[in-house]
């Protein structure tokens, strides 16, 4: 295991990382959580988080870890690009900021899960939303840059998949920008972001498989 090649490990991380993060996110927000809560209902969100089961609490630890796996994967994938290294580097930095913000946002909910006083629960939930939203905006832009560089270096289905991913995240980026001045579309923003995450997860499975084949 310790002698595994960088490309092979990166391929595995690119397959598991985005897909794992997306699946757990859907489990926590749609299946196990209360999907009827609006994104701006921070008090209700705090109560929902505080009422999580042990399983939900453990699952909540996983998305940032899966994103770190993804970050490792794209950092190794960078060496496979024959052009666009500078833009990839910028995109990777933005992606890393998004990953870091997910760690902070996840940590902000832990006091509620620990059963501490809920008097500041609404504030904690609002901070979680703010960090997630701003970090997600930067993360989204970074993903667009990475996908465009990848597309410029590949042919066939992988190239098409990269362009589809870039387009999905561009739409998400625009909607996220609007949501910062119009909170009435926060529900729509979450839905669009969710679709883009599914798209990038599928694309990364094929990118990871390609790396594994050449490892």
List per-residue pLDDT tens for the chain, 215 residues long: 788 999 999 999 999 999 999 999 888 888 887 777 777 788 888 888 878 888 888 898 999 999 999 999 999 999 999 999 999 999 999 999 999 999 999 888 887 777 766 677 788 888 888 899 999 999 999 999 999 999 999 999 999 999 999 999 999 999 999 999 888 888 899 899 999 999 999 999 999 999 999 87
Tell me the whole-structure pTM to 2 decimals: 0.91
Which of 192, 212, 98 lies closest to 146, judged by CA?
A: 98
Here the contacts of 58-62 (C-beta below 8 Å, separation 24 or greater) are: 59/24, 59/27, 59/28, 59/32, 60/24, 60/28, 60/106, 60/109, 60/113, 61/106, 62/20, 62/21, 62/24
């Amino acid at each position: 295991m310790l002698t595994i090649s960088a490309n092979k490990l990166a391929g595995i991380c690119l397959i598991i990382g985005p897909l794992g993060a997306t699946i757990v996110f859907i489990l926590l927000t749609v299946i196990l959580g209360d999907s009827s809560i609006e994104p701006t209902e921070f008090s209700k969100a705090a109560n929902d988080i505080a009422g999580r089961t042990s399983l939900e609490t453990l699952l909540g630890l996983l998305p940032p870890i899966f994103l770190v796996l993804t970050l490792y994967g794209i950092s190794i994938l960078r060496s496979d690009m024959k052009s666009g290294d500078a833009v990839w580097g910028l995109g990777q930095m933005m992606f890393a900021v998004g990953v870091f913000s997910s760690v902070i946002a996840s940590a902000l909910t832990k006091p509620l899960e620990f059963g501490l006083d809920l008097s500041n629960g609404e504030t904690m939930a609002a901070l979680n939303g703010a960090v997630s939203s701003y970090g997600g905006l930067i993360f989204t832009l970074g993903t667009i840059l990475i996908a465009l560089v990848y597309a410029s270096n590949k042919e066939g289905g992988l190239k098409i998949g990269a362009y589809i991913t870039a387009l999905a995240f561009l739409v998400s980026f625009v909607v996220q920008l609007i949501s910062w001045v119009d909170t009435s579309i926060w529900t729509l923003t979450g839905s669009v972001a969710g679709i883009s995450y599914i798209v990038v997860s599928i694309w990364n499975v094929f990118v990871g498989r390609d790396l594994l084949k050449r490892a």
